[in-house]
Structure 1
Amino acid sequence: MISKDNAEHYIWGDNCDGWYLVNRKDMLVIHEKMPPGTSEKRHYHSVSRQFFFVLQGVLTMELEGVVREIKAYQGIEIPPGSVHQASNSTQSAVEFIVISQPTTRGDRNDVPAS
């Protein structure tokens, strides 16, 4: 059994949390938590397809220039090659699951800020 209580934990970005629920070459499943006012860098994955599913709060996802608000129990698929950026523009933390197939290890390409 795996949960964020016993999974390998790491800190990313601006004091955001991540827990590896599945960490294999063919699949990566991460439980992430973003504090209010945080964001990741705009980027894309050449090979990996991702699915973000919000557990708590509201996740703002910019996908190919279109901004969407994803609420609890909603998800969004990110196809390979799609420029995207997750952020939390609310006053509460947001928690979500990210499923990546295959892993995003070595498959992240940051996009310079415009």
Structure 2
Amino acid sequence: MISKENAEHYVWGEQCDGWHLVKQPGMSVIHESMPARTQEARHYHTVARQFFFVLSGELTMEMEGEIQQLSRHQGIEIPPLAKHQARNESAQAVEFLVISHPTTRGDRVNVD
């Protein structure tokens, strides 16, 4: 059984946290937490398709210039090659799942 308490943990970006719930070449599931007013670098994946699903808080997702506000229990699919950026523009932390097929390891290209 896997949970946030026993999963492999890492820190990324501006004090953000990630926990690998599934870490396989064919699929990745990561539980992520972003403190208030943080963001990831804008990027795309050449092969991987992703799905972001908000567990708590509010996530701002920019994809190809379009902004989506995602609240608890809402998600968005990011197709390969779509430039995107996850941001937490709120005053509270946001927690979400990132499901990638296949894994994004070695498949990320930063832009801007």
| TM-score class normalised by the smaller sequence | over 0.9
Structure 2 unmatched runs, 5+ = none
Query: Which whole-Å CA distance do the structure 2 matches of 1:17 and 1:41 have between them?
Result: 15
Residue in structure 2 matched with residue 91 of structure 1 by the alignment: 91
Residue in structure 2 matched with residue 59 of structure 1 by the alignment: 59
Is residue 8 from structure 1 mapped to residue 2 from structure 2 by the alignment? no
Structure 1 unmatched runs, 5+ = none
Percent identity between the two aligned chains: 63
- The structure that is strand-richer by fraction is 2
RMSD: 0.3
Q: Deviations over 1:45-70 (max 9, x none)?
A: 00000000000000000011001100
Runs of 4+ in 1 over 3 A off after TM superposition: none
Query: Which whole-Å CA distance do the structure 2 matches of 1:45 and 1:24 have between them?
Result: 17
Q: Deviations over 1:10-31 (max 9, x none)?
A: 0000000000000000000000
1:5-84 residue pairs with structure 2 within 5 A?
5-84=5-84
The letter for the 1-side match of 2:8 is E
Aligned-pair distance for 1:71? 0.3
Query: Which whole-Å CA distance do the structure 1 matches of 2:84 and 2:50 have between them?
Result: 11
TM-score (norm 1): 0.98
Aligned residues: 112
Aligned-pair distance for 1:99? 0.2
